[in-house]
């Protein structure tokens, strides 16, 4: 398991398949493709669960305010596919979890904001899903896409 990167350090490089939006049925992208732009990487535990749905809907509802300031991968925006969990591991979000005494591996909820120089400018953990989009606004204003 990799350690989670810290604010101010270079973001872990990645290659992943982006699906949806301008990427259609799928196209390879990498961190380098977003040089000069702000990028939001939003990791969430599981599709179609109440908390993840509320969080995604918050981003969707704030999409008009976010889309010109950052590239985002989450519905209604393109998604990044990480079936081998390489990105989740590199970003330290593939972790051992414990529910009702049962231990298992899974993704912990985290959002990384990467500036135009490829450095991590903000990290959000265990955010209440309904507050997530609102917390991103000040960070995006400070990292205006050039």
**Among candidates 16, 1, 9, which has minimal Cα distance to 79?**
16
Say whether 52 is catalytic: yes
The one catalytic residue in 18, 31, 39, 52 is 52
**Among candidates 134, 68, 29, 17, which has minimal Cα distance to 124?**
134
**Among candidates 110, 94, 88, which has minimal Cα distance to 44?**
110
Degrees, nearest 5: CA angle 39-41-98: 165
Instruction: For residues 96 and 35, give the distance between their C-alpha atoms in angstroms, rounded to a whole number.
Output: 32
Structure tokens at 116: 């135009």
The residues assigned a catalytic role are 52
């Amino acid at each position: 398991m990799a350690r989670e990167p810290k604010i101010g350090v270079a973001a872990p490089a990645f290659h992943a398949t982006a699906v949806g939006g301008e990427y259609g049925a799928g196209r390879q992208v990498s961190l380098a493709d977003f040089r000069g732009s702000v990028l939001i990487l939003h990791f969430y535990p599981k599709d179609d669960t109440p908390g993840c749905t509320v969080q995604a809907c918050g981003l969707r509802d704030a999409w008009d305010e976010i889309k010109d300031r950052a590239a985002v991968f989450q519905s209604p925006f393109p998604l990044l596919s990480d079936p081998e969990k390489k990105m989740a591991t590199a970003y330290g979000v593939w972790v051992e979890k414990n529910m009702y005494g049962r231990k298992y591996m899974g993704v912990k909820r985290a959002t990384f904001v990467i500036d135009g120089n490829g450095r991590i400018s903000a990290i959000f953990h265990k955010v209440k899903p309904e507050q997530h989009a609102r917390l991103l606004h000040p960070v995006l204003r400070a990292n205006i896409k050039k």
